[in-house]
Chains A and B, each alone.
Chain A
Amino acid sequence: MPYHLEQGAMEMMKIRSKAAVARAAATKNDGKIFRWSVSIAVVTCAFLALFVFVDSFKPTHYELLMEQVAEAPVDVIYEFAADIVEYAEDTTLL
């Protein structure tokens, strides 16, 4: 072979390659753990987003109250309003 190669260079290359493979082996599992962590995080985020999306269709407390008020007889509403005024006076809001 006409190429120049210093004595012992081949042995050095073998040592370098073995060290590189050992490093790759050490980080191979790190990579797996990282990929698993990212996968779990992505799935969790997806579930949270789905939950928030579905939850946004649920009526709020105010809407539920308004529904009840709309269906309630007038005297009940008056009674409810009187209760609120009384509560406000008691708690010195008025």
Chain B
Amino acid sequence: MIDTKRAHIIDLIRSSCDMTRVFDIIIEQYSERLYWHIRRIVVLHEDAQDALQDVFVAAFSSIEQFRGETESSLIAWLYKIATTVAIKVLRKRRKHIFMSVDALSGVLLADFEGELSPDADQIAVKLHRAVLELPVKQRLVFNMRYFDELPFETISQITGQSVSTLKTNYHYATRKVKLRVSELDYE
């Protein structure tokens, strides 16, 4: 039995022969935040559920390639896989291969209406509607910075973009979201 309180997750990855048990711990610890990260990208619960499973299988298959030394690097690595899998799900939903993923925002907004919780807070609904109208690059940065509160350095590791580019994207995204939320107030 692995004592998770005493042992650091990275030490477990480095030392454990029983990787399945280590992944049980990883799944327990990171499922929720990865699920919401994916759900904010793909919107539909069924897609997010399947994608989450694919993320852990992909992570398990390539755990030997993980070279990180800290828990934040593990989080960044898992987020990177989750983002790739979620974008793949979005690509599958396109009508043809030349269609941009950004053009799916109309479809995602329609899905969002069907996925709303009955007791959803109206301000949160408006915010999410505004976020879904953003281009994918800006949406990813906004989601990870605003909702997950990840530092720009970690987001840079996940997306492969420079910190300055991410800050610019986040700045534009915030402005667009503020403007769109105020517009939705008047609608």
- Across the interface, name the chain B residue whose C-beta is closest to A15: B27
A16 contacts B by Cβ under 8 Å: yes
Is there an interface contact between A17 and B39, defined as CB atoms closer than 8 Å?
A: no
Interface size class of A (residues with CB under 8 A): 10 to 19
Q: A2-B117, A4-B45, A16-B49 are in contact. Are A21 and B57 (CB under 8 A)?
A: yes
Task: Determine the distance from Cα of A1 to Cα of B39 in the docked complex, in whole angstroms.
Answer: 11
Residue-wise, chain A 1-45 has the 8 Å CB interface mask toward B (1 for contact) of 111110001100110111011101100100000000000000000
With a CB–CB cut-off of 8 A, which chain A residues contact B27?
14, 17-18, 21
Prevailing SS type, chain B contact patch: helix
What residues of chain B have their CB less than 8 Å away from a CB belonging to chain A? 19-20, 23-24, 27-28, 31-32, 35-36, 39, 43, 45, 49, 52-53, 56-57, 60-61, 115-118, 120-121, 124-125, 128
Can you name 23 A-B pairs with beta carbons within 8 Å?
Answer: A2-B124, A3-B117, A3-B120, A4-B115, A4-B116, A4-B117, A9-B45, A14-B28, A17-B27, A17-B52, A17-B53, A17-B56, A18-B23, A18-B27, A20-B53, A20-B56, A21-B27, A21-B60, A22-B20, A24-B57, A24-B60, A24-B61, A25-B20
